[in-house]
Amino acid sequence: MKTCPNCGHPLHGEAAFCQNCGAPAPRDTPPAGAPAFCSNCGEQLKPDSKFCINCGAPVQQAPDVSAQEDLATPPRAGKKKKLAAAGAIAAAAVAVVVIGVIAIPRLFSTPAQQFVAYQQDLFADRALGLLEEGVDTLGSGRFSSDLTVTATTDNPDINQYLDDSSVSLKVELNRDTLLANGELTLMGSPILTGLLSYEKGTVGFYLPEVQDTYYTLDLSQTVETLTGQEVDLSVLTLPEISGKQWRALFQSYLDVVYTVVNQENVTLEQNVSFSLPQLGGSMTGSRYTFRPRATDVEAMLRELARSLREDETLRELIVKLVNPDMLTSAFGPDVFGGYDLESQLDDAILSLADDLERSAADAGRQVEEEGFTWELYTQGSQVRMIRLSTAYSDTTVVYEAQGQESDQRQEAFYAAFSGEPQFLVTHTYTKNGSQSSGFIDVIQPYGNALRLNYDMDTEKKSALGIPQGSYQLYSEQLPVSLSLDVSQGQDGSVDHTLRLQAEPYVFDGVFTDLEVNINTTERSSAQTPDAPPYDISHYTYDEYNVLFQQLGDAVYQDLIRNLEPLINSAYGW
C-alpha cells in the first residue's frame, strides 16, 4: 500500500490526497518490467508478481535504462547556470503547489475519491492492520515460553491444597520441531512430569515418574509397520504465512470493489445539519450520498471476475499455504485421490469468476431496484455518521462517531427497524499512542447488556499475544463476572491473572471467587531428557495397546491417589 510522503499515513490506491494531512498522493509510474529475482531475498519472481511470494517485499520495478543514461550524461559547462536557475524555479513552484494542496485538499479530489478515502481510513485500514498482525503472529510457526498455572479460591479448605501447587508447561515450537516439558506440582511436591518431542517425523514421550524410559518412534516407519504403506513424514512442517502478503492481496480486491464508486453515483452536499440518534448531539457538515446504478455494480463484479482469472498472487499464496509438494512427498502421489490440486484450485477460482460474471447484470439490477443508499456525514475531516438503507425496507444499518481519540471518542454501531435499534454496540475510548482505555457495551433491547472495560498498552504484549493491561467483563443481569490483569512479573515474565466472581449458587457454595494466574516467560527453558531414547517404531498394534494401557493405568492411579484428598475436602466428604 502507498503511504503519504509527508506524514506516512496509509493511502488508498485511488486517493488523490492524504486523508490525514492533506498532502497530494504520490502518482504510480508504469513499470518498465519486473525483475527476475526479489531484491530482498533472491526468490525468483513471476512477471506479474506485485510482491515476493517468499518474503513479502514489494517488487521493485526495473528503472528506465534511457532515463539512467540521461542522468548519467553530465550537462555541458555552458548550461550549468541555466540548469541551476531552472531547478530553483521548479523547486519553488513545487513548494507552492504542495502548500496549496495541503491547505485546500478538497479542490484536488472528487467527492467520489473523498468518499472512498473516508471508508478506507475508517474501516479498511483498521481491519487490514489487525489481519496483518494476526496472520504474522499465528503464521510464524514459532512459539517459545514457559507457562506456569497457579490458582486460589475463597475456600480455605481448597487453598491448603492449592498453596505451592502448579501446572507448568515449557514449550519450544518451530515450524518442524517441538519440545514440551510438563509438570504437575501438588503442595510443593512434583506429582507427575512428562515430555513430548517432535523433530522431522520422529515423536518422543517421557514419563519419568511412571517409567524411566524415553520412548521414540519414527512416524514413517511406524505407519509402514502397521499398514505396509510407505510414507515420508519427515518433510511435514507448519506453513509460514506473511501477514503483509495477505494484507496486500485483500487490499487489491478491496480496490476493485471501490471501482463501484464514481463521479456519477456520489453526490456531495455541504452545510447540512444532522443529529446522532444514539450518541446525541447535533452538528453541521457535509453529506456524501452514494447510490450505485445497475451498470456500476455490474462493471465492478465483472472486474472482480477478471481479477480472479488473472491473479497469480492469489494462487501462489493458497498453494504455499496448502503446500501440495510437501504433502505429495510425505504421503505419495495419491494423497489427493489422483487429482492435481493446483488444477483443482484453478478450476475452483475460474468457476467463482464465471459465477460472478453470470450474476453481475442481475445483481446490478437488484441493487438499483431496491434503491440501495449509503450516506456518509462528516464534520471537518471526521466521519460522524454512516447510514445504509434501501427504499423498500424499514431496516437501516448505522454507524455513529463523535469526539477525538486523544480526548474521548464515542462510536456506535446498530441495526434499527423503523428507527428503533434491534442490536446496539457502543465503544467509548481514549487513545494516546499505544495506550488505550475505554469500554464496549453490547445491548439488546429487552435483553442482557454486556460491558467490557479495558485499559491496555498495545506495544507491550505477553508471549500469548495479549497486551498488558486490565480487562473486566460483566453484566448486571448475569450471576458471574470476569476480569483479567496482564502485568509485568518477576525476572521479565508476564502474569495473566484471571478472576471469576460468582453468586454462591453458581458453584454449589464450594467457592464464589476463583483466581487463576498464568505466568509466561519470553523464552522457553524446555530440555530434552537425560535418558537415552528407546525406539518403538517396530511395535505391532498389540504391543502399542499393552504399552499405552500400562502407562495410562499408572498415571491414573498416581493422580487419583494424590488428588482424592483435595476432591473430598472441596465437597466436605
- pLDDT value at residue 355: 96
**Average pLDDT, stretch 79-86?**
50
- Name which of 17-31, 130-144, 162-176, 388-402 the model is least confident about: 17-31
User: Which of 516, 474, 481 is CA-nearest to residue 502?
Assistant: 481
What is the grid cell recorded at 20?
490525514
Q: How confident is the model at residue 100 (pLDDT cuts 50, 70, 90)?
A: very low
323 or 113: whose pLDDT is higher?
Answer: 113
Examine the pLDDT at 564 and tell me if it is beyond 50. yes
Q: Are 386 and 376 in contact (CB under 8 A)?
A: yes
What local confidence, expressed as pLDDT, does residue 390 receive? 95
Supply the pLDDT for residue 540.
Answer: 93
d(CA 448, CA 442): 8
Query: Predicted confidence band at 108 (pLDDT cuts at 50, 70, 90)?
Result: low
Q: Can you tell me the distance from the alpha carbon of 31 to that of 36, in angstroms, rounded to the nearest whole number? A: 14
Closest by CA position to 56, among listed 136, 121, 114 = 136
Q: Is the pLDDT of residue 36 over 80?
A: no
> CA 242, CA 132: separation in Å to the nearest integer?
8
Instruction: Give per-residue burial for 68-79: e unless 16+ CB within 10 Å, then b.
Output: eeeeeeeeeeee
Cα 353-339-334 angle, rounded to 5 deg: 155
Between 571 and 121, where is the model more confident?
121
In the structure, what pLDDT confidence band is assigned to residue 241 with cuts at 50, 70 and 90?
A: confident
When mean pLDDT is compared across 333-347, 349-363, 490-504, the lowest value belongs to 333-347
Pairing of strands 143-153, 166-173: antiparallel
Residue type, 41: C
Cβ partners under 8 Å of residue 45, min gap 6: 34, 35, 36, 37, 38, 52, 53, 59
Average pLDDT of every residue of the chain: 84
Stretch among 53-57, 357-361, 493-497 having the lowest mean pLDDT: 53-57
* 49-53, 144-148, 368-372, 442-446, range with the lowest pLDDT: 49-53
Residues 22 and 114: their CA atoms lie apart, in Å, by 11
Give pLDDT, residue 456: 97
Confidence of residue 311 (pLDDT cuts 50, 70, 90): very high
The secondary structure of 334-385 as a DSSP string is TTTTT--HHHHHHHHHHHHHHHHHHHHHHHHHHHHHTT-EEEEEEETTEEEE
pLDDT for the residue numbered 55: 62
Cα 480 versus chain centre, distance: 30
How many residues are given for the chain? 573
| Dihedral sign for Cα atoms in the order 198, 199, 202, 205 | negative
Q: Can you list the pairs that 556-565 forms with residues at least 24 positions away whose Cβ atoms lie under 8 Å?
A: 558/191, 558/192, 558/209, 558/210, 559/184, 559/191, 559/192, 562/186, 562/191, 563/186, 565/161
- Specify the pLDDT at position 96: 45
pLDDT at 261 over 50: yes
- Is residue 22 over pLDDT 80? no
- Of 296 and 89, the one with more pLDDT: 296
Give the Å distances, CA to CA, from 104 to 24, 97, 270, 357, 414.
Answer: 11, 11, 15, 41, 34
What pLDDT does 333 receive? Answer: 74
Percent of the chain with pLDDT over 90: 54
Q: What is the pLDDT of residue 140?
A: 78
Report pLDDT for 15: 58
CA dist., res. 503 & res. 132, Å (int): 41
Q: Residue 4 pLDDT more than 80? A: no
User: Which triple of cell numbers denotes residue 187?
Assistant: 503442595
- Average pLDDT over every residue of 95-118: 66
Contact 23, 7 (CB under 8 A): yes
Q: Residue 64 pLDDT more than 60?
A: no
User: What is the pLDDT, as a whole number, of residue 79?
Assistant: 47
Please state the rounded mean pLDDT for residues 241-255: 91
* pLDDT tens profile 122-148: 989 989 998 898 888 777 788 999 999
Q: Which residues contact 272 (CB under 8 A, 6 or more apart)?
A: 284, 285, 286, 287, 377
pLDDT for res 133: 87
**Range picked from 49-58, 60-69, 465-474 for highest mean pLDDT:** 465-474
- Give the three cell numbers for residue 249: 492481496
- Cell 437488484 locates to 366
- pLDDT value, residue 48: 63
pLDDT digits (tens, 9 = 90+) for 38-54: 666 656 666 666 666 66
CA dist., res. 156 & res. 143, Å (int): 37
CA atoms of 291 and 186, how far apart (whole Å): 67
Q: Which of 72-76, 85-89, 433-437, 536-540 has the lowest mean pLDDT?
A: 72-76
- At 479 the pLDDT is 92
Amino acid, single-letter form, for residue 354: D
